[in-house]
């Protein structure tokens, strides 16, 4: 069980309330958000975590060092912005497994990873993405699936509104999907892989109603700070 956490963003929207650490290190009580995220992953048996870092990467390395709760950590540092796809491709060099889980470092989505693994292996695919139902998709854009859970449409934020399913920022995939892309090149995983390829090859979506919070904006960050999680 191996995963990549995307923790290299600039956190521009959150900077009005958290400015001295990278976004995944935003304090929740006396702990950084990234600890909450890794605690959840370790509970599902992940035994190697790769942190894809960039902005203020030293803060993350200084806090965690080489391991967390006995689980080895690897750091894949972006010395220039590579986008979500480029960051994943860069982090892949630290991964050993053929199948990997990738997730955002600013989102806590309490997915059942055992069930996600079963879903992935029961479908003929190189990619399973996790969807979340929300009341208003306009902040994220929406994803539509057919009756067999195959992705049939991605809609941008401008074309999305009201109740629907959004990309929850968790993926289980075969590493070949990333290895086909050149290393060191900046690209978007969402646009340059998912939206470019879903018509040509089957990508499937696992929908979860589990707890979900994205701390990328101050309002939602403060919700988590003031919660009893």
Specify the CATH number for the domain of residue 190: 3.90.550.10
Per-residue pLDDT tens over the stretch 146-178: 999 999 999 887 777 789 999 999 999 999 999
Count of domains forming the chain: 1
Is the predicted pLDDT of residue 228 greater than 60, yes or no?
no
Supply the range of the domain harboring residue 188. 2-225
Residue 77 β-bridge partners: 53
The secondary structure of 141-178, three-state, reads: CEEEECCCCEEEEEECHHHCCCCEEEEEEEEEEECHHH
DSSP H helices, 14-136, are 33-43, 57-64, 83-91, 113-121
Is the predicted pLDDT of residue 145 greater than 80, yes or no?
yes
Q: How confident is the model at residue 35 (pLDDT cuts 50, 70, 90)?
A: very high
Per-residue pLDDT tens over the stretch 55-66: 889 999 999 999
pTM across the whole model: 0.93
* pLDDT for 229: 55
* pLDDT for 53: 95
Characterise 182 by phi-psi region: left (phi > 0), alpha (psi -120 to 50), beta (else): beta
């Amino acid at each position: 069980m191996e995963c990549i956490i995307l923790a290299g963003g600039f956190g521009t929207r959150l900077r009005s309330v958290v400015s001295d650490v990278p976004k995944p290190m935003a304090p929740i009580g006396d702990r950084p958000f990234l600890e909450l995220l890794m605690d959840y992953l370790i509970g599902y048996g992940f035994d190697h975590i790769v942190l894809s870092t960039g902005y203020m990467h030293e803060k993350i390395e200084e806090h965690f060092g080489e391991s967390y709760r006995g689980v080895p950590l690897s750091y894949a540092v972006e010395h220039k912005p590579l986008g979500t796809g480029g960051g994943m491709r860069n982090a892949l060099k630290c991964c050993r497994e053929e199948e990997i889980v990738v997730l955002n470092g600013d989102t806590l989505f309490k997915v059942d990873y055992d069930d996600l693994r079963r879903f992935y292996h029961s479908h003929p695919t190189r990619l399973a993405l996790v969807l979340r139902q929300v009341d208003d998709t306009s902040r994220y854009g929406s994803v539509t699936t057919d009756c067999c859970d195959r992705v049939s449409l991605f809609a941008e934020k401008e074309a999305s509104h009201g109740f629907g399913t959004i990309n929850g920022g968790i993926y289980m995939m075969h590493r070949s999907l990333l290895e086909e892309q050149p290393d060191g090149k900046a690209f978007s995983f969402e646009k340059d892989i998912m939206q470019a390829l879903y018509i040509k090859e089957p990508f499937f979506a696992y929908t979860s109603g589990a707890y979900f919070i994205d701390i990328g904006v101050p309002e939602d960050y403060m919700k988590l700070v003031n919660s009893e999680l």
